[in-house]
Chain A
């Protein structure tokens, strides 16, 4: 077995008011696979995702127990450069949020902050990431128009491209297709299959069906606990835990 990209050891996460969002989670996330974390709302999926790029740092008064290792290094250790971490672990959100600037500037925003100044290199990044997100043909002639002029589906692919332009190692997707029509959803899902060759992908899908479609490895979460995990084809056909079965057969959630 390959080395895991992410390794979570007994992770618990407690909010300021004492509410426990995650309870004693241990989990391996392997490279070049799509790991899908699914379960009913409020189960801690997004919280778990945001632990991986430390976006939860923004929440005041939180408390983390256990360790989160990326390539064997604790990302919560003192002295870790959070901003560099977020470039290694990119994120796509549920609602597409193009930054209020041109399409091109949206894509170069991250790399420029990381110190990439070379014009040709930036142009290359723009084209490559747009192609990878299956958006290049649609926008190549209007890169300097405001990104907000794109349609919803295009915006979400732009957000994916923007993350890819960071040249990350891991891509986190938090219900990336929840606002999209079926055709756009299919496009995004197809891109993921391409992308997993180069990246580690962690997705919170917006439905069980999507989880079943995309997951190489599936993780079922319920009320902050990891109920069951396993290879996608197994977990969705022969779940071990009764709760998992109830959920995927539509008995609750």
Chain B
């Protein structure tokens, strides 16, 4: 009788299950490996260049000036600019899609924003060069169109899909009963959105903001193509209309030309390490907000 035969739990089945369990740990291993190899190739920096020299304002590797401050500030400036553009726009758009737009409009808007997420950054960078920078030069009176502002504009747009979709998800997850309660108390739709729905979704919105900012800091190609790449200290307000150079662009532009094992090579890896740590912390905050909500994290990554 079929019922009495002992179940065929074959060796291959056992093997597959073990393998699947091991791959889970592989993911942790990959993250650790990234850290380790950045440290392995970049760690030498701290023996070759003193911390004081690293924290200088002059980046000119050919003459052994490895001051990374202009790069750090460059990244900071461009990212802040991007955040100033993308946070209000992204959050307002998320509110519009989640709370105001009729269903058919949602069905159109969401895929459209996904399209933006799918455009390769090098294509956006190219468009930034041929479309955005001339506009910046012409209308804002910058001597060249390749400026920090152009970078911020590009980055701001590139961070938008993340911010919109994560924030929209968070707003969507607010129970309908909350809204009904507010409306029943005589609040208008508009008041309900800002006094009830948005505050209820705040930790999801925080996640959206963090992930968006994290994406902006790490973005490379588009930034490299539109910011002009001059490693100068952006200290005044009009720095926005001057060329700057970010950490990511520095690595991408110079790694191809350095001798493996040279100080310059090590410093570039060290910059990568800094980038890794900064985004790591940002993502920890984002992850903390996700876990605190006990929510699925699927859409956040795609």
Contacts and interface: CB of A to CB of B under 8 A. Distances in A.
Interface majority SS (helix, strand, loop, mixed), chain B: loop
Interface majority SS (helix, strand, loop, mixed), chain A: loop
Interface stretch (B1-9, B63-71, B159-167): B1-9
Interface string A55-94: 0000000000000000000000000010110011000000
A115 to B, nearest CB: 6
B3 A84 contact: yes
Interface in A160-208: 166-169
A212 to B, nearest CB: 32
A5 to B, nearest CB: 14
A111 interface: yes
A115 B3 contact: no
Contact of B1 (A81, A83, A167): A167
B154 to A, nearest CB: 46
A163 B214 CA distance: 53
A169 B4 CA distance: 10
A81 B7 contact: yes
B97 to A, nearest CB: 32
A167 B1 CA distance: 8
A111 B2 contact: yes
A149 interface: no
Contacts of B1: 167
A81 B2 contact: no
A166 B2 contact: yes
A111 B7 CA distance: 11
A169 B5 CA distance: 14
A234 interface: no
Contacts of B3: 84, 87-88, 114, 166-169
Contacts of A169: 3
A88 B7 CA distance: 12
A79 to B, nearest CB: 11
Contacts of A166: 2-3
A115 B4 contact: no
Contacts of B8: 115
Contacts of B5: 84, 114-115
Contacts of B9: 83
Nearest to A84: B7
Contact of A116 (B2, B4, B6, B7): B2
Contacts of A114: 2-3, 5, 7
| A-B CB proximity, top 7 nearest | A83-B7, A114-B2, A87-B3, A88-B3, A81-B7, A84-B7, A116-B2
Interface of A: 81, 83-84, 87-88, 111, 114-116, 166-169
Interface of B: 1-9
